[in-house]
Amino acid sequence: MDGKKSPYKWRNRDVLTFLRHYKQMECLWNNRLPEYKDKTKRERAYEAIQQNMDMELSVPDIKNKIKGIRTTYSTEINKILKSSRSGSEEIYKPRVFWFSLAHSFLKDVTETRTSRSMREDHSNASDTSIPYQMPDEEVDPFSLDQFPLESSPVSSRKSSRSYQVHQDIPKMEEIAGLQYKEEDEFDLFGRSMAIQLKKLPEHAALELMQQMQLMMNNARLAHSLENKAEQS
């Protein structure tokens, strides 16, 4: 299967699960760690993701998926920064459902050419070392330089605003109006019920839904009455 495109169709929940496993393998994305340059540890991390995913994936499949996610994430971040530079009052909101989860850990290892130059202008440090380097050629750095902003005259006010937006990237979920929430047992139960209902004939599923809704209404009503009794 190595070297071939995975025939598996990715569902939304598969992508979220994949991102959670990717987040746990910090040596694959945190370029500030020594392990980030360790090829052996990185290969083991890829294999761990492969074993944890309930899918027929090869290590090349996993690398390609990571590359695709990172490319899309970088594109979305670039669109946010670009909309800010334009002076528009309405900041671009990411349209990919997994953006907030990816942003929760990739935001600190992503920087743009614009923000980097501005950061250097605002710093008095003489250190010329580059903090973000890649261990090998098979993985691209977390930089938005591959998605350059259109060159245009930018006033100092807009430049300052663009720099401020990058400084506020850890708060991008708030800017984008997105809040990622980990699934709990209730979310999983609801999804499980939905899957099982879809396997029933429509009339049987509707009857069961009616019964479940009635039980839920009765439980909520009883709880409401208890609260009123305690307050009186």
Spatial distance between the Cα atoms of 158 and 147, rounded to a whole number of angstroms: 19
Span 152-167, average pLDDT: 44
Question: What average pLDDT does range 148-163 have in this prediction?
Answer: 42
- What is the Cα–Cα distance from 195 to 178, expressed in whole angstroms? 26
Give the pLDDT of residue 111: 61
CA 106, CA 118: separation in Å to the nearest integer? 20
* For residues 195-220, average pLDDT: 90
Share of residues in the chain with pLDDT > 90 (%): 34
Q: Is the pLDDT of residue 120 over 80?
A: no
Higher model confidence: residue 191 or residue 156?
191
Statement: residue 121 has pLDDT above 60: no
**Helices (H) then strands (E): counts for the chain:** 9, 0
The per-residue pLDDT for 42 is: 96
Q: For 54-65, b where at least 16 C-beta lie within 10 A, e where not — what string?
A: ebebeebbbbeb
- The tokens for 216 are 């839920």
What is the rounded CA–CA span in Å between residue 213 and residue 219?
10
**Per-residue confidence at 91, pLDDT binned at 50, 70, 90?**
confident
Which residues are 19's β-sheet partners?
none
Is the CA virtual torsion 188, 190, 192, 195 positive or negative?
A: negative
**What does the alpha-carbon distance between residue 26 and residue 28 come to, in Å, rounded to a whole number?**
5
Q: What is the mean pLDDT of residues 51-66?
A: 92
- Domain extents for the chain? 12-176, 185-231
Least confident of 31-35, 60-64, 74-78, 128-132: 128-132
Do 69 and 19 touch, CB atoms closer than 8 A? Answer: yes
pLDDT in the model for residue 102: 93
Neighbours of 40 (CB within 10 A): 8
* CA dihedral sign, ordered 206, 207, 212, 216: positive
Task: Give the model's pLDDT for residue 83.
Answer: 83
Q: Which residue has the higher pLDDT, 151 or 47?
A: 47
DSSP for residue 111: B
Least confident range from 11-15, 32-36, 109-113: namely 109-113
Compare 191 and 29 and report the one with higher pLDDT: 29
Distance CA 7, CA 39 (A): 27
Work out the average pLDDT over 32-56.
93
Distances (CA, A) of 35 to 19, 129, 134: 19, 19, 11
Q: Is the pLDDT of residue 160 over 50?
A: no
- Which of 166 and 67 is assigned the larger pLDDT? 67
Nearest to 113 by CA among 148, 82, 151, 67: 148
| Highest-scoring range by mean pLDDT, 58-72, 103-117, 191-205 | 58-72
